[in-house]
Each structure stands twice: as C-alpha cells, then as structure tokens.
C-alpha cells in the first residue's frame, strides 16, 4: 500500500468545524452544509437594506421586552461539527442564551431568517430549510425582496409547515412574538 493511500481518506471528504476556521478571510461567505463547502458572494445593497430593516424591527422589540438576543450576519451558527451556517438574522430566546458562546451560536436558534438573493432562492428554500428543520430550528422565515414576500415557517416534526405568507405592505403578527407588528412597508424600503 502506498503512503498516499494512507493519508487520503477513502470516499468523499466531509469538512468539519476545524477545517472551517482555517478558511481564508477574503470577504466571501463560507458555510459548511453536511460537510460540503458552500461559498457565496457578499450580499447586494438591497439585500442588506432588507436585512437591516428587519433586524431593527425585531431587535428593538426583543430588547425592549428582554426576550433574548438578535444577531445578524456574519455570525457562525454551529448546528453540528459538519454543519456551520451564517444566517442573515437569528434570534435566541433568553432562556436559551447559554448556546451563545465566545466562538459562535452553538445549537439551533429559536428563529433563523434568510433574505433571498438572486442566486440563493433554491438554496434558502430547499437546502437550508431542510438542514434547519433537521437540526431543530423551530421558526424559519424567508424574506424575498424581489417579490416583496415574507414566508413564515414553523417546524412540525422534522420538517417545516408554512404558517403564513405576507406580501407587499402587509402587517405581520408572528406567533413567535405575539405583541409584535411588522409593517412590511418599512422592511422593503
């Protein structure tokens, strides 16, 4: 047996958190999904504006009521040693803040929000939705600036069921935050 075959593992190589931390800091967004490296470009200005607006609304509500903590990308969420994601927005309830460590959010947040980019629709709606459900994220929202649509999902078993879809300038009253009203007209600006 050659030395090379002793060093290279058989089968597909699955990346882990240790590999992830060694990736370059080059402005790209790196994630590891079930051991596979995903690289995406930096978000466009409209994407960032929607992310900022939604974060401000949710964060203000959460902060005023001391419900927990809101975070925005880039922040690592370690769902498993082979699954490290950087959601656009996330919320961790106060009773679960122990999952927020010095290095990352280590476990499923109570809410993850992804903002769809021109290249990320299938990725956000299929790949990431399946991962988030599998790893126990109870609430998942997908905001699509192009269609001005917010889809809210709630975990049911090991997958998500759509709880509601809102478009345009609708008022959103999410079950996760019963006394919050989100004016989507302020989100898409």
CA-to-CA distance for 23 and 153, rounded, in angstroms?
A: 32
Q: Which CATH architecture has domain 43-187?
A: Alpha-Beta Complex (3.90)
Cα dist from 12 to 8, 17, 32, 102, whole Å? 10, 17, 14, 31
Query: Which residue, among 72, 69, 57, 44, has the nearest Cα to 171 in the 3D structure?
Result: 57
CA-to-CA distance for 27 and 12, rounded, in angstroms?
A: 27
CA-to-CA distance for 98 and 19, rounded, in angstroms?
A: 24
Q: With left for phi above 0 and alpha for psi between -120 and 50, is residue 47 left, alpha or beta?
A: alpha
Full-model pTM: 0.89
% of the chain residues with pLDDT over 70: 92
- Convert the pLDDT of each residue in 34-63 to its tens digit: 898 988 878 889 999 999 999 999 999 999
Q: What is the pLDDT of residue 7?
A: 64
Pair type for strands 111-115 and 89-93: antiparallel
Report phi then psi at 9, rounded to 5. Answer: -70, 145
Q: Which helix (H) or strand (E) holds 136?
A: none
Query: Which residue, among 51, 57, 19, has the nearest Cα to 36 in the 3D structure?
Result: 19
Tokens representing 43 are 């978000």
- Looking up tokens 């203000």 gives 60
- Looking up tokens 């996760």 gives 176
Per-residue pLDDT of the chain (189 residues; tens, 9 = 90+): 445 555 666 677 889 998 898 888 887 889 899 898 988 878 889 999 999 999 999 999 999 999 999 999 999 999 999 999 999 999 999 999 999 999 999 999 999 999 998 766 676 777 888 999 999 999 999 999 999 999 999 999 889 987 799 999 999 999 999 999 999 999 998
CA-to-CA distance for 169 and 103, rounded, in angstroms?
A: 38
């Amino acid at each position: 047996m050659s030395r090379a075959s002793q060093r290279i593992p058989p089968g597909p190589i699955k990346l882990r958190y240790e590999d992830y931390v060694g990736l370059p800091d080059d402005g790209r967004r790196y994630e590891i999904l079930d051991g596979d490296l995903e690289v995406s470009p930096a978000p466009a200005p409209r994407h960032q504006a929607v992310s900022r607006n939604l974060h401000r609304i949710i964060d203000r509500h959460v902060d005023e009521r001391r419900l927990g903590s809101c975070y925005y990308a880039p922040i690592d969420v370690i769902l498993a040693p082979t699954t490290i994601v950087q959601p656009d927005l996330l919320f961790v309830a106060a009773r679960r803040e122990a999952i927020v460590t010095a290095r990352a959010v280590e476990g499923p947040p109570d809410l993850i929000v992804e903002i769809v980019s021109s290249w990320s629709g299938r990725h956000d709606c299929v790949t990431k939705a399946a991962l988030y459900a599998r790893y126990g994220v109870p609430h998942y929202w997908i905001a699509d600036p192009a269609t001005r649509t917010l889809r809210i999902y709630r975990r049911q078993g090991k997958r998500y069921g759509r709880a509601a879809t809102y478009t345009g300038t609708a008022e959103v009253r999410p079950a996760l935050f019963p006394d919050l009203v989100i004016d989507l007209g302020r989100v898409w600006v």
